[in-house]
């Protein structure tokens, strides 16, 4: 039996409309701040029904019910939300929590970006799972275009030796395997602890003195507790201290896989360039 072209087109519109309604009604649990940000970026933020304590951007995210945090996820709360989709951060959520949710039959998908470029890939993947493919592709393309532009702007600039003070006490920094190191490299910063065998090594002042950084980067971290402050002026033998080369960066932008990460890179590059 032949179906007229008009009926075929009409069926297509009806199917598309049905898919749109399903996407709008989708209930999502997003278990990491970067996942929440990406879902809002692609137009799926309104579908989030549960998230973690430290998901604080955009402002609308603060209204989403909390179902866990650093110490784990409250599985019973997740089940009570009756989600259609649970998006987990493979290296950020507890493996036992993820396994339990999968065993209970929840529709679990993984987010595990490892490189700066992976943000675009994650956006497109989330777009497919939420019915927001077109917007996700647009956001991903804009992201990659801006990242390419930032790299080109600094491609021929001489590198500067930098020390990234991840945490003051005990003092910690980063090696070349970390996301933060990738961001520093875009700005032609040369991480003095890049070759350390530990991703987030604990170090001492003496290690920084030996490394002789030309610039020290201090991330501003949101915290309910007062953070210790290192009086770097005691160690004038460090070139960064001698020449007063310190910059502050926004930790929320630098430590989170999201499109805003490029704002963090741009800000850091401008501040590093000011000392070249």
pLDDT of residue 23: 59
Whether 3 is in a domain gets the answer: no
Structural tokens at position 129:
């799972």
The angle subtended at Cα 112 by Cα 106 and Cα 115, nearest 5°, is 165
Are residues 120 and 55 part of one domain?
A: yes
| pTM of the entire predicted model | 0.87
Domain final position from 95, 123, 147: 147
DSSP state of 108: E
pLDDT of residue 15: 45
pLDDT of residue 116: 96
Residues of the chain with pLDDT under 50: 1-5, 8-11, 13-21
CATH number at residue 168: 3.40.50.1980
Domain final position from 123, 147, 171: 147
pLDDT of residue 17: 46
The parent domain of residue 21 ranges over 13-147
Distance in angstroms (rounded) separating the CA atoms of residues 267 and 250: 9
Are residues 219 and 110 part of one domain?
A: no
Alpha helices for the chain (secondary structure H): 5-25, 33-41, 75-80, 95-103, 118-130, 133-153, 179-186, 205-211, 239-242, 251-254, 261-273
pLDDT of residue 7: 52
Distance in angstroms (rounded) separating the CA atoms of residues 257 and 234: 35
Are residues 163 and 142 part of one domain?
A: no
Range 51-60, long-range pairs (CB < 8 A, 24+ positions): 55/30, 56/222, 56/252, 57/33, 57/252, 57/258, 57/260
């Amino acid at each position: 039996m032949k179906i007229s072209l008009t009926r075929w087109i009409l069926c297509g519109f009806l199917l598309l409309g049905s898919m749109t309604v399903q996407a709008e009604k989708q209930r999502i649990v997003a278990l990491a701040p970067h996942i929440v940000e990406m879902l809002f970026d692609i137009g799926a933020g309104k579908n989030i029904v549960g998230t973690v304590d430290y998901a604080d951007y955009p402002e609308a995210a603060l209204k989403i019910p909390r179902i866990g945090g650093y110490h784990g996820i409250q599985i019973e709360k997740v089940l009570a939300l009756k989600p259609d989709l649970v998006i987990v951060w493979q290296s950020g959520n507890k493996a036992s929590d993820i396994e339990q949710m999968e065993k209970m039959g929840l529709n679990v998908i993984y987010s595990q970006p490892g490189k700066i470029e992976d943000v675009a890939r994650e956006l497109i993947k989330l777009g497919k799972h939420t019915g927001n493919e077109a917007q996700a592709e647009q956001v991903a393309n804009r992201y990659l275009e801006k990242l390419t532009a930032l790299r080109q702007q600094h491609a021929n600039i001489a590198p500067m030796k930098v020390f990234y003070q991840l945490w003051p006490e005990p003092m910690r920094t980063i090696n070349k395997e970390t996301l933060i190191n990738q961001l520093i490299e875009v700005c032609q910063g040369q991480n003095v602890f890049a070759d350390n065998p530990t991703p987030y090594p604990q170090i001492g002042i003496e290690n920084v003195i030996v490394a002789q950084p030309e610039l020290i980067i201090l991330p501003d971290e949101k915290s309910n507790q007062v953070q210790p402050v290192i009086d770097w002026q005691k160690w004038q033998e460090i070139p960064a201290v001698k020449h007063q080369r310190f910059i502050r960066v926004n930790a929320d932008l630098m430590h989170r896989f999201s499109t805003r990460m490029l704002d963090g890179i741009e800000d850091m590059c401008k501040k590093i360039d000011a000392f070249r």
